[in-house]
Amino acid sequence: MLSVSVRHRFGAFTLDASFEAPPGITVLFGRSGSGKSTIVDAAAGLLAPEAGRIAVDGRLLFDAAAGVNLPPHRRRLGYVFQEGRLFPHLSVRRNLLYGRWFAPRRAPRAEFGRVVEMLGIGPLLDRRPGALSGGEKQRVAIGRALLASPRLILADEPLAALDEARKAEILPYFERLRDEAAAPILYVSHSAAEVARLATTVVALQDGRVIRQGPAAEVLGDPSVAPTGVRGVGAVLEARVAAHHADGLSELDAAGDRLFLPRVPQPVGAALRIRIAAQEVMLSLQAPQGISALNILPGAVEAIHDGQGPGTIVSVRTRAGVVLARVTRRSAEALALAPGLPVHAIVKTVAIAPEDVGGEAHAPRQEPPR
């Protein structure tokens, strides 16, 4: 458990954020300038906030009032940077083992072979970072952080410098990390898709303040929380793979409702998280007939959130969970949408992008009673 409470001022900008991060990935979610990276740098000891307290599993890293400020090398971190920051003069193997040198002998050790296998970097071990692709570099950076026997893993937009294909290559490794690492992971992102796939807990930040915090489905399903703007709004559903069809589609079971997606790599029975962007959802009062869209989820309007522009976001309670739809205010008035009204949410299969589908979703682990 990581607990953070920091206050810091840069000129006109004030960061004032407090949150607790349970095991798993806690995503700091917000647009650039919201203070995400400052929080991570404070946790790493690269920046000393004016006031606050940071502790991991009861071990104090920073406390302005008590005058405690451990230097980074004594914080037992694994930091995955946006640009990898691999040591150019060392082989991949020696990069991976760098942190182990400095970790206490008694520290629980991630097994080298297992980490190498998990990240698929066995063939790269004797190369130098200069000869690796962007995606390979980032995989090595993840391994290097893991092998330092960290008590806290930090990742500052580790995918932001990669193109879409490389992102898709790396995301599954973070999913595995989330499911296997014992240390809490603090992960900075401004991408709703990444949050939906990875987050155990989301801390939404805006202008240096925490505007919402909680499980991913809950925070992303609340349209009043849109730290990256309306385009980032989208609900997260959890579903199981029911079947793979010969026409390239996968059929999913979301609490009884059927969803069709472009083929997913997970096997039948696997649990998935799917993010459905609000702007890709249509609403219909009647069950639509003769329509090409394959995903039709019956439900009822739960709430309507007017924004500033011509659009409005309607949350629809379906059996699978809350689905958000971004429609124009004109349409909302024409359909006389109001809480309680039965509607059908319509989603085109191809509107669900592969980066919005993640494997092995699970609810936040319960903390043992104290």
Partner 1 sequence: MTPLPGPEALEALALSLKVSAWATAGSLPLALLAAHALARWRFPGRGLLNGLVHLPLVLPPVVTGWLLLSLFGTRGPVGALLAEVGIVFAFRWTGAALAAAVMAFPLMVRAIRLSIEAVDPKLEQAAGTLGASRPWVFATVTLPLILPGIVAGMVLAFAKAMGEFGATITFVSNIPGETRTLPSAIYAFLQTPGGESQALVLAGISVAVAMGALLISELVAVRVAARVRGG
Q: How many residues bind partner 1 (CB under 8 A)?
A: 32
**Least distance to partner 1, CB of residue 270, Å:** 34
Tokens (6 digits) for 61: 């890293």
Handedness of CA 261, 251, 192, 155 (dihedral sign): negative
What is the separation of C-alpha 178 from the centre of its chain, rounded to a whole number of angstroms? 10
Q: Which is nearer to partner 1, 161 or 168 (CB)?
A: 161
Q: What is the 3-state secondary structure (H, E, C) of the chain?
A: CEEEEEEEEECCEEEEEEEEECCCEEEEECCCCCCHHHHHHHHHCCCCCCEEEEEECCEEEEECCCCEECCHHHCCEEEECCCCCCCCCCCHHHHHHHHHHHCCCCCCCCCHHHHHHHHCCHHHCCCCHHHCCHHHHHHHHHHHHHCCCCCEEEEECCCCCCCHHHHHHHHHHHHHHHHHCCCCEEEEECCHHHHHHHCCEEEEEECCEEEEEEEHHHHHCCCCCCCCCHHHCEEEEEEEEEEECCCCEEEEEECCEEEEEECCCCCCCCEEEEEEEHHHEEEECCCCCCCCCCEEEEEEEEEEEECCCCEEEEEEEECCEEEEEEEEHHHHHHCCCCCCCEEEEEECHHHCCHHHEEECCCCCCCCCCC
Question: Binding to partner 1 by residue 103, rule CB under 8 A?
Answer: yes
Contact flags string 17-56 toward partner 1, x per CB under 8 A = ---------------------------xxx----------
Nearer to partner 1, 28 or 77 (CB): 77
Query: At its nearest, how many Å lie between partner 1 and the CB of residue 72?
Result: 4
* Residue 108 binds partner 1 (CB under 8 A): no
Question: In whole angstroms, how close is the CB of 143 to partner 1 at the nearest point?
Answer: 12
13 binds partner 1 (CB under 8 A): no
Examine residue 10 and tell whether it contacts partner 1 (CB under 8 A). Answer: no
Is 311 a binding residue for partner 1 by CB under 8 A? The answer is no
Query: Shortest approach of partner 1 to residue 329 CB, angstroms?
Result: 47
Complex with partner 1: residue 148 or 202, whichever CB lies closer = 148
293 makes contact with partner 1 (CB under 8 A): no
State yes or no: residue 129 binds partner 1 (CB under 8 A): yes
Instruction: For the CB of residue 188, give the shortest distance to partner 1 in the complex, in Å.
Output: 15
Least distance between partner 1 and beta carbon 107 (Å): 10
Name the residue nearer to partner 1 (CB basis): 140 or 237: 140
Q: Is 143 in the site for partner 1 (CB under 8 A)?
A: no
Q: Scanning residues 154 to 193, which ones bind partner 1 (CB under 8 A)?
A: 154
Provide the minimum distance between the beta carbon of 320 and partner 1 in the complex, in angstroms, as a whole number: 41
93 binds partner 1 (CB under 8 A): no
Q: Is residue 72 at the binding interface for partner 1, with CB under 8 A as the rule?
A: yes
Q: Which is nearer to partner 1, 132 or 226 (CB)?
A: 132
How far apart, in whole angstroms, are the C-alpha atoms of residue 206 and residue 352?
Answer: 27
Selected from 36, 53, 76, 167, the binder of partner 1 by CB under 8 A is 76
| Residue position matching structure tokens 């991976």 | 96
Nearer CB in complex with partner 1: 31/128: 128
Q: Quick check: 109 binds partner 1 (CB under 8 A)? A: no
- 131 sits near partner 1 (criterion: CB under 8 A): yes
Per the CB < 8 A criterion, the answer to whether 342 and 298 are in contact is yes
Asked if 237 contacts 197 with a C-beta cutoff of 8 angstroms, the reply is no
Strand order in the sheet with 234-244: 257-262, 249-254, 234-244, 271-277, 357-359
Taking CB under 8 A as the criterion, the residue among 36, 53, 75, 317 binding partner 1 is: 75
C-beta of 108: minimal distance to partner 1 in Å? 15
Note the residues at the interface with partner 1 (CB under 8 A): 44-46, 71-79, 81, 83, 85, 87-89, 98-99, 101-103, 127-131, 144-145, 148, 154
